[in-house]
Amino acid sequence: KAGVTQTPRYLIKTRGQQVTLSCSPISGHRSVSWYQQTPGQGLQFLFEYFSETQRNKGNFPGRFSGRQFSNSRSEMNVSTLELGDSALYLCARAGSQYFGPGTRLTVL
């Protein structure tokens, strides 16, 4: 099993709103990575958190932010949503082999 839970699975928002997505790796895994998948840009790395610290960040605007809690759960926040933020957001746990089911965000 992948051992990564993502909530919610589907989300519809309107432009200008903000959204928070959640990712929970199974217990003991301290690293979480986030990816955005769109038809036009493919799969792109957003950021990685390890033991509550951001260790790596992709080339995304500051509207995209994240954090990690002491129980390894991670949240990703997107403020001032744009139509182009519509995507599948995937979260992976340590070693990047295993991904969660993803959150499909639609911005109207």
Q: Which residues form the interface with another protein (CB under 8 A)?
A: 2, 31, 33, 35, 37, 42-45, 48, 50, 55-56, 58, 88, 90, 92, 94-102, 104
What is the smallest separation between the CB atom of 98 and another protein, expressed in angstroms?
6
CB-wise, 26 or 88, nearer to another protein?
Answer: 88
Q: Decide: 41 and 35 in contact? Cβ < 8 Å.
A: no
Using the minimum distance from each CB to another protein, give the nearer residue, 6 or 19.
6
Tokens of 103: 């959150």
In whole angstroms, give the CA distance from residue 102 to residue 1.
15
Least distance from another protein to the Cβ atom of residue 80, Å: 25
Residue closer to another protein by CB (options 38, 80) is 38
Integer CA distances (angstroms), 24 to 28, 40, 56, 57, 81, in order: 11, 28, 18, 19, 23
